[in-house]
Amino acid sequence: MKTADILGIRFDAMELGEAYETLRVFLRGGRNRVVVTPNPEGVMRARRDENFKQALLSADLCLPDGIGIVFASRILGRRVPRKLGGCDTTLGFIDSVKDGGVKIFLLGAAKGVAEAAGKKLEADYTGAIVVGARDGFFTEADESGIVGEINSSGAEILIIGMGMPKQELFAAKHSQALQTRITFCLGGTIDVLAGKKKRPPPFMIRVGLEWLGYLIYEPHRIKRMADLPRFIFATSREAIKNKFGKPNE
């Protein structure tokens, strides 16, 4: 697979159809594969948090969840063909394989939310089977038991919705112990499925303003959004360095 390095994070550069085919190969495989979907905020967090960065780099598939990643790739001359949002790509993939009775486990969100999301998932994707669900509030001491619960369920797909970096760190730590075929790290997707969190209107997603829609719905995100100008600055600096050599400090 072609990859593009964006500020130290290796993104897989592919079209949607290629992503689906790669995921089908994973689903037919004999071991667990981890899929991460960082956005510009995630890239900047990884620059500050080495453990999170290594979790991203150890993933089997890294999809660009954010139009900012696509723009940055063009500025840096490392073209990523398109945004592949974690929520849309995962649900589209489930839709494409649901007739095979794919088994899914949901891990994350508040108490009772994953169960509600599971019922909605089965209703919307007839043929998909939710074999387990539990909230994302647990201690490190609980983790081995949770991995055992997931394995005992017979799940082929694990969707973790605990937010960055907790979900990626959990997936990386337990990647080899998990007997699923694919582990998706998907932030607020479980809340979205359960109707607890709104997604921006389709037109905002289409034109790359999904981040603005989330900011309108969740004003508390404003502090996190400070990473967007930092991302733009870091990308511009990297592009200048690549073209003209290291800029003056």
Q: Would the pTM count as exceeding 0.75?
A: yes
pLDDT at 71: 94
In a domain, 3, yes or no: no
In a domain, 79, yes or no: yes
In a domain, 91, yes or no: yes
How many CA atoms, within 13 angstroms, populate the side-chain half-sphere of residue 240?
A: 10
pLDDT at 249: 43
pLDDT at 25: 98
Pick out the chain residues at pLDDT < 50: 248-249
Domain span at residue 132?
Answer: 9-189+196-241
The total of structural domains in the chain comes to: 1
Report d(CA 31, CA 213) in Å as an integer.
37
Render pLDDT for 177-219 as a digit per residue (tens, 0 to 9): 999 999 999 988 999 999 987 776 776 777 666 766 666 667 7
In a domain, 13, yes or no: yes
Sign of torsion over alpha carbons 46, 159, 86, 215: negative
